[in-house]
């Protein structure tokens, strides 16, 4: 009896939970309403099955509970009933499958006039690239990948010269225009997932994958990596900002091209302690060194592993780091002063802090950038 | 009343029955087939990538090893036909010896490949070569161990009773079946490694509709 | 009159009498006959008796399962109280998830259903004295134990166990950035290879015994559905584990020998590596070609066991035995052509999505039929709410939930936003973790009296059931909604996401508390079984009045050789219940054709004189 009651309460409870739950689909921000419709159809049908079967079992448990002197029926099968049930089930399956396959057929065919942007994944940050004025993305190869060329763009390919290389962990796209997202990875599997857009795809090293959608409203949407990619997986964060056309155009104009970046880098290498140019053309005109450092930390993915509020992460937290006594894995103790911090950033393998894995990637830093970062760390008390 | 009938005719211990042991062997052969079919599938899928470089060099030692394995197979077949007599058992021992020689020839072939700069961490076709021949060799070693186990009474020179002889004859027959399988498997692997090229795969896939015809 | 079999009713733990005659030996060493009194070590440690091996498998699986349970509670502590437990850092968190998943799927569920239930029940249910290859059977247990020890050994290698997720996807599984890349991943792969050897040795036994060693009259269509479930699951295991072996060997080569089966050219942590041209997708195809049948290797024995539990405890023939057998066989066959539904967002060719969505939804049909038939067995039954029946009913409820959420994930476009979110985690826990585990418990309680001659403590059993059943709903039902919201799985922490409301963190806390309560409640089961084995009330040979053959051994617990001097002969199916009139409502399988009416279990239409469908 308790069992029948439990099953009935489970049915009531799950249905009530469904209606009371504050956790549901994020508000749709793309054209894929049909995917939500297919989900809802599946929900109705499966909920009906769940409720029916649980209630049927509850009823049977009550009605056919053991009573002295009463024995079970001898019936052992009923071919007709079983075939009817198979038939009804098959119809239900087909009713769910057909709309699902229909929207899938649309999902896999991007419109010919969709704009494109490329996402390159790396443990544990994102890089974005746009085709530039010529509308074509330049050729890339893994062999060319280096800290100053995270996309591995080929110098030889003229199409690549005007490719727009987005500076920060934010990509803007214009509202209302179909966009095909091209996905690559330089190391392991990642996945570009924005829940509000619904569609997404894995990023596979050695391949270019893609998906497409049309953003239907403006806003700032979080990008999550949705394929386990190592210890920094949960911190690999980025944003997609859907803009109205004028705002988008303004943003696009402010992003550097591949050619411009190359020139900027060689200028920095030549000049000692150069100013704003070396910090990155897209970082804006901010002169406060703390702000520059903060922007750099976001752009270069430092915050994927180093928290600024004391929370434990893949790497040591920056809060209160400056001036602290750190123990290295060889047992030595060192004070985290300017010199130490600069070395730790520029040459991560030189010394490892005890208790942390030796996974910090090496990136190229100009002296000005190092100064900005260390300056930022100093502000985090 | 329950009626429990004396099951006098059937052996009390199904494990002794040749039929049961043969059934077990066939199930095991099914498992090995599944294993190598999957490797083969992986091989063919890998072949589809643009950077595939097929194996062109066939070390002559592989022809030697094929002949030795065929010889071992023949010896086991002879052993099976004479399983109840002493020359059957001797043919079984010859089969084992020839299989050892086969393994030696395979090892020699490996050395020849390495000398020609085909290495396990080289291009994928090379990796597959070493992996597939290595696993096949492991299965030959497994068979040798089983044969040794079955015939150890013989090797130790013990006098064998009738039941033990009967069982040994069964073991010889099973070894013969296993060795025939190993030879067939080896021939398939040999063909796969050296004669199945991306073009062949393309023709087969086109003919069953898995792929669209490519312009030549 | 239907005889309840030779019940030696005192139920004391039947010792191992040295069997006179042909019942005793097991042929493993070729010397055939009985071996007289054995030392304790030969009898209980290096035993070749299928029942001892089964108990060894069961105990080992449960122990390692408890380890995995603790790991899951540690994971939940981090999710419920992020950052509060300093020793659960990101590295350890990923190591815990990986080990939890791999242990539960492979080392607990597969080993327990095939090695535990399969070993114990198959010879008893088909009327054999033992497995056909007892020495190989014993070896399979020791290989299994070795694989468990190697796996647990990965906690002690430098760098600790691998944190790549139980799916072990390359490239990250063998690249820095993932814990365990030094020794953990290699240890894991070696352990899996050893396990596959064990599973193959065991599997050969189960299949060959079922095909070759059934007693007279035991046709395939008279076998209990437990045997059918384990039989088909074993065939799946024999054909699917090679795929794991293949992918494991190739990954070992990539890691240790530098080959590039799965490794494309990558830049890892700033270093260009030597690999070139490998395909991560190749690994996924191979892994899931194993991985999908693997879930049916777990589910099919569970289905079989539930059929037997429902039938015995509702005193009614399982509804539609023939269709149930066909459903098991068809599900087994179809399970080989659905694997890429785990890969809808992997980047594989999009057209595969159509094919696999269709096959995946088709496999729902025979599965649904099984659910209908269980419920129809209850209809017009005589339902006794024993502990095994409670677990069986709990199975039906939770399996329906887990199964229908599979319809979301099988439908390719509905899957795309849900892939790699908590919806998937909730689905596979319900359908692999909760319902088969309820079936395991139901089976263990049901056959405990057979194995020990004693009865478990009823109150503790009911407590165990209620906490586990309700608790599992509390843990996993809300989790679906977190997944629909879009919360990804395998995240160490969720901080400052604007689309995740703070209430989600509260939900995580609630789930953690429920998980810990359910975890602790399993102690009731462990305690119950240990104490009842030594001090439980004697249960007699057939306390459930079941009709299938295993309940009719001359001694309980059955001794070596199971059946005494003569093997039983079977005249009917295993589900002959519902007889009106007389002392008992069932006929054992060994009842002769003249002694209680014709057989009705397997053929359509009943023997004349028996009513069809009339309530008793």
pLDDT digits (tens, 9 = 90+) for C355-409: 999 999 999 999 999 999 999 999 999 999 999 999 999 999 999 999 999 999 9
Q: Which pLDDT band holds residue B3 (cuts at 50, 70, 90)?
A: very low
The pLDDT tens digits for A115-172 are 999 999 988 889 999 998 888 888 888 888 887 788 888 888 888 888 888 878 899 9
DSSP string, A111-154: -TT-EEEEEEEETTEEEEEE-TTTT-PPPB-GGG-BTTBTT-B-
ipTM > 0.85, yes or no: yes
Structure-model confidence comparison of residues B164 and C275, the more confident one: C275
Of C353, C375, C482, the CB nearest to A104: C353
**Which pLDDT score, from 0 to 100, does residue C496 have?**
81
> pLDDT (tens digit, 9 = 90+) per residue, A197-209?
999 999 999 899 9
Of A45, A77, A201, the CB nearest to C321: A77
The whole-number average pLDDT for the span C545-568 is 93
> Does C319 sit within 8 Å of A77, measured CB to CB?
yes
| Closest CA of chain C from A336, distance in Å | 22
How far is it, in rounded angstroms, from Cα C128 to Cα B171? 23
Residue-wise pLDDT for C14-73, tens only, equals 333 333 333 333 433 333 345 556 677 877 888 899 999 999 999 999 999 999 999 999
The candidate with the shortest Cα–Cα distance to C96, out of C156, C166, C159, C147, is C166
B110-139: per-residue pLDDT in tens?
Answer: 999 988 888 877 777 888 999 999 999 999
pLDDT at C469 over 50: yes
Alpha carbon of residue C378 to chain centroid: 24
Whether the link from the prior residue into C507 is cis, omega within 30° of 0, is: no
Alpha carbons within 13 angstroms on the beta-carbon side of residue C188 total 34
B chain contacts of residue C257, beta-carbon cutoff 8 Å:
120-121, 127
| C-beta atoms surrounding C78 within 10 Å | 22
- Check whether residue A248 and residue A282 sit in a common domain: no
What is residue A288's predicted lDDT score, i.e. its pLDDT?
66
Q: Could you tell me which chains touch chain B, where touching means 3 or more CB pairs under 8 A? A: C
CA angle A114, A120, A123 (to 5 degrees): 150
Average pLDDT of span B12-36: 84
Q: Which of chain B's residues have a Cβ under 8 Å away from the Cβ of C207?
A: 27
Mean pLDDT over all residues of chain A? 86
Residue B1 has pLDDT above 60, yes or no: no
Contact C253 B120 (CB under 8 A): yes
Provide long-range contacts, Cβ within 8 A and 24+ apart, for A348-352: A352/A328
Question: Which residues, other chains included, contact C586 with Cβ-Cβ below 8 Å and sequence gap of 6+?
Answer: C2, C315, C545, C546, C547, C576, C577, C578, C579
Query: What contacts A192, CB < 8 A, 6 or more positions away?
Result: A119, A121, A126, A181, A183, A200, A201, A203, A223, A225, A226
SS3 A289: helix
- pLDDT of residue C250 exceeding 60, the answer is yes
- Cβ A86–C369 below 8 Å, yes or no? yes
| Predicted confidence band of residue B8 (pLDDT cuts 50, 70, 90) | very low
User: What is the predicted pLDDT for the residue at C182?
Assistant: 84
Cis, peptide link before residue A219, omega less than 30° from 0 = no
Asked if the structure places residue A156 within a domain, the reply is yes
**Letter string b/e over residues B61-100, b meaning 16 or more CB atoms within 10 A of that residue's CB:** bbebbbebbbbbbbbbbbbbebbeeeebbebbebbbebbe
* Domain C51-263+275-552, CATH: 1.20.210.10
Would A259 be classed as within a structural domain? no
C475 in Cβ contact with C515 (< 8 Å)? yes
For A92, phi then psi, to 5°, come to -60, -40
Whether A278 and A213 map to the same domain: the answer is no
**Which residues on chain A are in Cβ contact (under 8 Å) with C179?**
231, 357
- Whether pLDDT at C611 is above 50: no
Determine the Cα–Cα distance for residues C325 and C329; give it in Å rounded to an integer: 6
The rounded mean pLDDT for chain B is 83
Give the DSSP letter string of B131-180: HHHHHHHHHHHHHHHHHHHHTHHHHTT----HHHHHHHHHHHHHHHHHHH
Residue C602 φ then ψ, to 5° = -105, -25
How far apart, in whole angstroms, are the C-alpha atoms of residue B169 and residue A325? 78
Are the beta carbons of C204 and B45 separated by less than 8 Å?
no
Mean pLDDT over the full length of chain C: 89
- Say whether B4 and C569 touch across the interface (CB within 8 A): yes
Q: Are residues A248 and A276 in the same domain?
A: no
Cβ contacts below 8 Å, chain B against chain C, sum to 150
Q: Are A182 and A119 in contact (CB under 8 A)?
A: yes
CA–CA distances in Å: residue A257 to residues A120, A147, A343: 16, 16, 30
- Whether A263 is in a domain gets the answer no
Could you give the C-alpha distances from B23 to B178, B184, B186, C121, C122, in angstroms and in order? Answer: 12, 19, 23, 21, 17
Nearest by CB to residue C204, choosing from B19, B28, B127, is: B28
Dihedral pair phi/psi, residue C376, rounded to 5°: -70, -25
Mean pLDDT is lowest, of A317-321, B88-92, B158-162, for: B158-162
Site from C174, C254, C277 to mutate, B interface, most B CB atoms within 10 angstroms: C277
Q: What is the predicted pLDDT for the residue at C602?
A: 36
Q: What is the pLDDT of residues A342-356, one digit of tens each?
A: 888 888 878 888 878
Q: Where are the beta strands (DSSP E) in chain A?
A: 115-122, 125-130, 164-165, 170-174, 179-185, 190-193, 201-203, 209-213, 219-225, 237-243, 325-327, 333-335
Domain coverage including residue A371? 272-378
Using an 8 Å Cβ cutoff, are A302 and A311 in contact? no
Q: Which pLDDT does position A150 carry in this prediction? A: 82
CATH fit for domain B57-119+129-196, picks 1.20.120.80, 3.30.1300.10, 1.20.58.2240, 3.40.50.970: 1.20.120.80
> What per-residue confidence (pLDDT) applies to A277?
40
On whether residue A166 sits in a domain, the answer given is: yes
For residue C457, the model assigns a pLDDT of 96
- pLDDT-derived band at B158 (thresholds 50, 70, 90) equals low
**Nearest-CB residue to C381 (from A64, A93, A101):** A64
Half-sphere exposure of B8 (CA within 13 A, CB side): 1
pLDDT at residue number B50: 65
Kindly state the DSSP code that residue C383 receives in the 8-state scheme. Answer: B
Cα C291 from Cα C236, distance rounded (Å): 11
Pairing relationship of beta strands A115-122 and A219-225 according to DSSP bridges? unpaired
Distance CA A260, CA B63 (A): 61
| More confident of the two residues C531 and C610 | C531
Question: Which residue out of A57, A71, A86, A238 would a mutagenesis test of the C interface target, given it has the greatest number of C Cβ atoms within 10 Å?
Answer: A71
pLDDT of the residue at B215 = 55
Are A350 and A362 within 8 A, CB to CB? no
What is the count of structural domains for chain A? 3
Residues of C in contact with B19 (CB under 8 A): 212
Which residues does chain B have within 8 Å of residue C250's beta carbon, measured at their own beta carbons?
42, 131
- For residues C334-353, give the mean pLDDT: 94
Tell me the nearest-neighbour CA distance from A71 into chain C, angstroms.
Answer: 5
What pLDDT sits at residue B162?
Answer: 75
* A247 found inside a domain: yes
Give the model's pLDDT for residue A289: 65
Distance CA A138, CA A154 (A): 7
Three-state DSSP state, C72:
helix
Q: Do you find a cis peptide bond into B39, omega within 30 degrees of 0?
A: no
Answer yes or no: do C132 and B4 touch at CB < 8 A. no
Q: Do A103 and A119 lie in a common domain?
A: no
Mutate to test the interface with B, among C126, C132, C136 (most CBs of B within 10 A): C132
- The rounded distance, in Å, linking the Cα atoms of B168 and B175 is 10
- The partner residue sitting opposite B27, judged by closest CB among C32, C204, C253, is C204
- How many angstroms separate the CA atoms of B66 and A311, rounded? 64
Backbone angles phi, psi at B7, to 5 degrees: -90, 65
Asked if the structure places residue A266 within a domain, the reply is no
Task: Look up the CATH number of the domain holding residue A240.
Answer: 2.60.40.420
The torsion angles phi and psi of C343, rounded to 5 degrees, stand at -125, 20
> What is the interface size between A and C, counted as CB pairs within 8 Å?
369
Segment B31-84, tens digit of pLDDT: 999 999 999 988 888 887 767 777 778 888 999 999 999 999 999 999 999 888
Measure Cα distances from C330 to B14, C292, C356 in Å.
30, 15, 16
A100 and A119 both lie in a single domain: no
Nearest of A357, A225, A186 to residue C179 by alpha carbon: A357
Distance CA(C415)–CA(A244), nearest Å, equals 31
Nearest to C612 among A56, A75, A90 (CB): A75
Closest CA to B145 of B96, B216, B101: B96
Measured from the Cβ of residue C329, the count of other Cβ atoms closer than 10 Å reads 16
For C328-338, write each residue's pLDDT tens digit. Answer: 999 999 999 99
For chain C, the chains sharing at least 3 beta-carbon pairs closer than 8 angstroms are: A, B
């Amino acid at each position: 009896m308790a069992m029948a009651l439990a099953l009935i309460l489970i049915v009531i409870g799950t249905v009530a939970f469904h209606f009371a739950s504050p956790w549901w689909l994020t508000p749709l921000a793309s054209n894929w309403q049909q995917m939500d419709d297919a989900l809802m159809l599946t929900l109705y049908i499966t909920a009906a099955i769940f409720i029916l079967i649980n209630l049927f079992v509850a009823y049977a448990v009550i009605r056919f509970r053991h009573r002295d002197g009463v024995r079970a029926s001898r019936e052992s099968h009923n071919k007709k009933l079983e075939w009817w049930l198979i038939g009804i089930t098959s119809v239900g399956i087909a009713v769910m499958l057909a709309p699902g396959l229909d929207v899938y057929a649309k999902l896999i065919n991007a419109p010919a006039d969709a704009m494109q942007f490329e996402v390159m994944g790396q443990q544990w940050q994102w890089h974005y690239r746009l085709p530039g004025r010529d509308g074509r993305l330049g050729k890339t190869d893994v062999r060319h990948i280096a800290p100053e060329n995270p996309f591995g763009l080929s110098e030889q390919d003229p199409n690549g010269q005007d490719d727009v290389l987005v500076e920060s962990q934010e990509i803007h796209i214009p509202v209302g225009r179909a966009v095909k997202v091209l996905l690559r990875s330089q190391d392991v599997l990642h996945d570009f997932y924005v829940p509000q857009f619904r569609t997404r795809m894995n990023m596979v090293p050695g391949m270019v994958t893609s998906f497409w959608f049309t953003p239907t409203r403006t806003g700032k949407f979080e990008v999550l990596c949705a394929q386990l990619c190592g210890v920094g997986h949960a911190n690999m964060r980025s944003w997609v900002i859907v803009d109205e056309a004028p705002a988008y155009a303004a943003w696009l104009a402010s992003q550097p091209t591949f050619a411009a970046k190359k020139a900027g880098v060689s200028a920095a290498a030549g000049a000692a302690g150069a100013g704003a140019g070396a910090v990155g053309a897209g970082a804006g005109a901010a002169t406060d060194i703390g702000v520059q450092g903060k922007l750099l930390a976001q752009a270069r993915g430092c915050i994927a592993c180093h928290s600024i509020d004391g929370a434990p992460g893949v790497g040591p937290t920056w809060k209160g780091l400056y001036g602290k006594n750190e123990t290295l894995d060889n047992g030595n103790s060192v004070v985290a002063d300017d010199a130490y911090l600069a070395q730790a950033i520029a040459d991560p393998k030189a010394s490892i802090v005890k208790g942390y894995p030796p996974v910090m990637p090496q990136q190229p830093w100009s002296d000005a950038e190092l100064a900005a970062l260390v300056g930022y760390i100093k502000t985090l008390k | 009343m329950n009626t429990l009938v004396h099951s006098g005719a059937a052996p009390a211990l199904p494990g002794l029955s040749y039929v049961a042991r043969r059934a077990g062997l066939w199930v095991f052969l099914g498992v090995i087939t599944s294993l190598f079919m999957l490797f083969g599938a992986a091989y063919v899928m890998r072949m589809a990538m643009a950077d595939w470089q097929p194996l062109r060099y066939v070390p002559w030692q592989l022809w030697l090893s094929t002949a030795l394995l065929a010889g071992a197979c023949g010896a086991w077949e002879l052993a099976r036909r004479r399983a109840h007599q002493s020359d059957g058992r001797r043919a079984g021992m010859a089969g084992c010896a020839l299989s050892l020689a086969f393994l030696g020839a395979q090892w020699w072939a490996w050395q020849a490949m390495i000398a020609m700069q085909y290495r396990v961490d080289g291009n994928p076709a090379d990796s597959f070569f070493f992996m597939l021949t290595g696993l096949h060799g492991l299965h030959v070693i497994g068979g040798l161990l089983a044969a040794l186990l079955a015939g150890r009474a013989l090797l130790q020179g013990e006098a064998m009773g009738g039941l033990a002889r009967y069982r040994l004859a069964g073991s010889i027959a099973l070894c013969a079946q296993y060795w025939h399988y190993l030879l067939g498997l080896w021939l398939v692997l040999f063909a796969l490694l050296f004669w199945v090229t991306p073009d062949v795969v393309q023709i087969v896939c086109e003919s069953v509709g898995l792929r669209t015809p490519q312009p030549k | 009159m239907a005889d309840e079999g030779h019940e030696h009713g005192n139920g004391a733990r039947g010792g191992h009498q040295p069997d006179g005659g042909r019942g005793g030996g097991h042929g493993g060493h070729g010397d055939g006959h009985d071996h007289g009194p054995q030392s304790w070590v030969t009898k209980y440690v290096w035993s070749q008796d299928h029942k001892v091996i089964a108990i060894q498998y069961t105990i080992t699986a449960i122990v390692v399962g408890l380890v995995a349970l603790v790991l899951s509670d540690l994971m939940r502590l981090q999710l419920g109280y992020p950052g509060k437990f300093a020793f659960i850092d990101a590295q350890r968190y990923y190591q815990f998830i990986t080990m939890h998943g791999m242990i539960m799927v492979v080392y607990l569920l597969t080993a327990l259903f095939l090695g535990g239930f399969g070993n114990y029940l198959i010879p008893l249910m088909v009327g054999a004295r033992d497995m056909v290859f007892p020495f190989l059977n014993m070896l399979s247990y020791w290989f299994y134990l070795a694989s468990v020890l190697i796996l647990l050994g990965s906690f002690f290698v430098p760098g600790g166990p691998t944190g790549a997720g139980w799916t072990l996807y390359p490239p990250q599984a063998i690249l820095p950035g993932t814990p365990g890349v030094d020794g953990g991943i290699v240890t894991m792969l070696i352990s899996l290879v050893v396990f596959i050897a064990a599973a193959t040795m065991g599997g050969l036994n189960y299949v060959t015994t079922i095909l070759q060693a059934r007693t007279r009259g035991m046709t395939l269509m008279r076998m209990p559905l437990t045997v059918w479930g384990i039989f088909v699951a074993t065939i799946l295991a024999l054909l699917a584990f090679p795929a794991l072996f293949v992918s494991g060997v190739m990954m070992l080569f990539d890691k240790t020998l530098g080959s590039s089966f799965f490794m494309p050219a990558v830049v890892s942590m700033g270093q260009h590596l030597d690999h070139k041209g490998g395909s991560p997708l190749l690994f996924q195809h191979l892994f899931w070609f194993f991985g999908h049948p693997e879930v049916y290797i777990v589910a099919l024995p569970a289905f079989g066991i539930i059929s037997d539990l429902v039938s015995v405890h509702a005193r009614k023939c399982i509804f539609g035995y023939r269709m149930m057998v066909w459903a098991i066989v068809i599900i087994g066959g179809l399970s080989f052509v659905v694997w890429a539904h785990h890969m809808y967002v992997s980047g594989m060719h999009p057209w595969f999505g159509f094919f696999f969505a269709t096959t995946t939804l088709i496999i729902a049909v025979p599965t649904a039929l099984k659910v209908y038939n269980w419920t129809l067995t209850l209809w017009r039954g005589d339902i006794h709410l024993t502990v095994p029946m409670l677990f069986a009913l709990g199975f039906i409820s939770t399996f329906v939930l887990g199964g229908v959420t599979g319809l979301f994930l099988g439908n390719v476009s509905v899957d795309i936003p849900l892939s790699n979110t908590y919806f998937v985690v909730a689905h596979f826990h319900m359908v692999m973790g909760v319902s088969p585990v309820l079936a395991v418990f139901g089976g263990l309680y049901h056959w405990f009296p057979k194995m020990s001659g004693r009865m478990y403590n009823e109150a503790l059993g009911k407590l165990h059931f209620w906490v586990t059943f309700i608790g599992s709903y509390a843990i996993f039902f809300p989790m679906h909604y977190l997944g629909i919201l879009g919360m990804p799985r395998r995240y160490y922490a969720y901080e400052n996401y604007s689309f995740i409301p703070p209430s989600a963190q509260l939900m995580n806390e609630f789930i953690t508390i429920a998980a810990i309560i359910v975890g602790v409640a399993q102690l009731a089961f462990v305690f119950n079984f240990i104490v009842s084995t030594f001090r439980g009330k004697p249960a007699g040979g057939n306390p459930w009045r079941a009709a299938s053959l295993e309940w009719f051994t001359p001694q309980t617990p059955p001794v070596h050789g199971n059946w005494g001097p003569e093997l039983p002969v079977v005249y009917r199916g295993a589900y002959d219940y519902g007889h009106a009139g007389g002392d008992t409502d069932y006929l054992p399988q060994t009842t002769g054709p003249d002694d209680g009416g014709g057989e009705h279990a397997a053929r359509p239409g009943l023997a004349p004189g028996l009513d069809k469908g009339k309530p008793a």
